[in-house]
């Protein structure tokens, strides 16, 4: 293998094995060579020929192959690498690892290796949640095995939904990069996040966005009616501020443009305070260029056409004043459409009360952003609350996360964004 970094990729028998083909290609693009072991069950899903063609060398399948042992013994195979990656890590492979079984090439290599091991579990949600798998995963945690995923979502089996989808190739790549860099705590992806011996606190979080400039909007806007009254909404700013804090913890240089909120400015973040949508747009434009822009603010859609210069007075018999409204500028759409200084990755939010995914898809197209974080605010107390259930909607994928504290949503979102291909680009 000519690349300076390499992984030993053990491909288990699950439908997610096809994603590993894409992973091998991405690893190569990042200068990481893959040497592959395909299990017997894995061969049912991808062929040795496909794996070998992409990896650029023959893949290994058989423990008792005389030619393989003559080429490179299974002990050497397990050690002539920088990292061992198991993807998909099936319930069977996880059970073998937890008990130390060695009855084929993959399990023998896993037992013989002196390198760190990263696994990407993939299985049916019932199997994932089964007490046996829980026990086995706890054992792997004790053994210091790193874990990426699984994600929650629809399964290949009709009607099955829940945790068990293997992490996507870009998430696997990010986890491999972190593991190769010596991280002991992987950024959380999917249903369980990470395992590892030395989980760090926020300050120990991996610097996934080091060198990146991230611009975030948060909170509501206030649209003045007169000097004392305004139109507003119930946004607390908790989610946007938590994202700003998570981006700063990930090493980014963060500018937060915040509407009026009752919470403190996040530490280590440059916060610009604004009132109205027009002020917010001006502050955002003034803060460009940025590599990543996240528009979490609940911007008022309308403002009063003409703000009264003095307090509107109640006059006997005159009735209520008629307020003519005009539309506010759409900050997300304006920045997404920029020819110059458009951030490489633009993220919008969508608070919906019904048909959440459909509306989010429509919003993605209408606003021209790269990702919509959609949440159902229909009577769930999300606005102002401390927990959030989100769906990450891109043009070709929907990922649903379990209900999580807003801080957890923030750190997962930052890890997710850092792993998106656009995050490696600089602003256009």
Q: Which residues contact ligand C5P (rule: CB under 6 A)?
A: 217, 277, 295, 297, 299, 301, 328, 330-332, 348-350, 363
Q: Is 424 helix (H, G, I), strand (E, B) or coil?
A: helix
Closest CB to ligand C5P among residues 189, 299: 299
Q: How far is the CB of 41 from ligand C5P (least distance, A)?
A: 44
Which residue in the block uniquely carries the two structure tokens 């060398």?
A: 57
Q: How many Cβ atoms from other residues are within 10 Å of residue 280's Cβ?
A: 26
- Is the separation of the CB atoms in 280 and 274 below 8 Å? yes
Strands 325-327 and 302-304, how do they pair? antiparallel
Q: How far is the CB of 83 from ligand C5P (least distance, A)?
A: 37
Cα separation, 161 vs 152, whole angstroms? 7
Closest CB to ligand C5P among residues 86, 331: 331
DSSP one-letter code for 226:
S
DSSP line for 388-420: E-EEEEETTEEEEPPPEEHHHHHHHHHHHHHHS
Closest CB to ligand C5P among residues 173, 257: 257
Q: Which of 136, 151, 233, 375 is catalytic?
A: 233
Closest CB to ligand C5P among residues 190, 348: 348
Nearest to 124 by CA among 79, 160, 159, 92: 160
233 is catalytic: yes
Q: How far is the CB of 333 from ligand C5P (least distance, A)?
A: 7
Cis ω on the peptide bond leading into residue 150 (within 30° of 0)? yes
Closest CB to ligand C5P among residues 62, 301: 301
Q: Which residue's beta carbon is nearest to the bound ligand C5P?
A: 331
Q: How far is the CB of 221 from ligand C5P (least distance, A)?
A: 8
DSSP one-letter code for 321:
P
Q: How far is the CB of 366 from ligand C5P (least distance, A)?
A: 8
Which residues are tagged catalytic? 233
């Amino acid at each position: 293998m000519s690349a300076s970094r390499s992984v030993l990729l053990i491909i288990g028998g699950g439908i997610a094995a096809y994603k590993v083909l894409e992973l091998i290609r991405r690893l190569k693009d990042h200068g990481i060579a893959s040497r592959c072991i395909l299990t017997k069950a894995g061969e049912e899903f991808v062929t040795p020929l496909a794996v070998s063609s992409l990896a650029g060398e023959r893949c290994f399948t058989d423990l008792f192959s005389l030619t393989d042992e003559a080429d490179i013994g299974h002990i050497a195979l397990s050690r002539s690498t920088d990292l061992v990656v198991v993807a998909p890590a099936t319930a069977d492979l996880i059970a073998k690892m937890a008990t130390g079984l060695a009855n084929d090439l993959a399990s023998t290599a896993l037992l013989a290796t002196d390198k760190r091991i990263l696994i990407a579990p993939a299985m049916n949600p019932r199997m994932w949640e089964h007490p046996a798998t829980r026990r086995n995963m706890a054992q792997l945690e004790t053994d210091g095995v790193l874990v990426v995923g699984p994600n929650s979502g629809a399964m290949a089996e009709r009607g099955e939904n829940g945790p068990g989808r293997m992490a996507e190739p870009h998430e696997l790549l990010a986890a491999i990069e972190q593991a190769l860099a010596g991280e002991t705590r992987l950024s959380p992806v999917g249903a369980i996040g990470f395992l590892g011996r030395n989980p760090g606190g926020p300050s120990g979080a991996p610097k996934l966005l080091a060198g990146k400039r991230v611009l975030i909007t948060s909170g509501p806007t206030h649209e003045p009616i007169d000097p004392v009254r305004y139109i507003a909404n119930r946004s607390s700013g908790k989610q946007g501020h938590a994202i700003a804090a998570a981006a700063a913890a990930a090493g980014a240089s963060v500018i937060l443009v915040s509407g009026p909120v009752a919470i403190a400015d996040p530490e280590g973040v440059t916060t610009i305070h604004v009132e109205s949508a027009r002020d917010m747009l001006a502050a955002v434009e003034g803060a460009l260029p940025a590599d990543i822009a996240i528009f979490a603010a609940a911007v008022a859609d309308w403002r009063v056409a003409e703000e009264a210069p003095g307090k509107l007075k109640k006059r006997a018999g005159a009735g209520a004043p008629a307020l003519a409204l005009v539309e506010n500028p759409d900050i997300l759409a304006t920045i997404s459409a920029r020819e110059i200084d458009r951030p490489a990755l633009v993220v919008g939010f969508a608070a919906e009360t019904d048909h959440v995914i459909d509306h989010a898809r429509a919003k993605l197209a209408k606003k021209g952003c790269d990702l919509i974080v959609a949440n159902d605010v229909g009577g769930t107390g999300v606005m102002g609350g401390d927990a959030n259930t989100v769906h990450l909607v891109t043009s070709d994928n929907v990922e649903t996360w379990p209900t999580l504290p807003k801080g957890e949503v923030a750190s997962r979102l930052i890890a997710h964004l850092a792993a998106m291909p656009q995050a490696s680009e600089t602003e256009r």
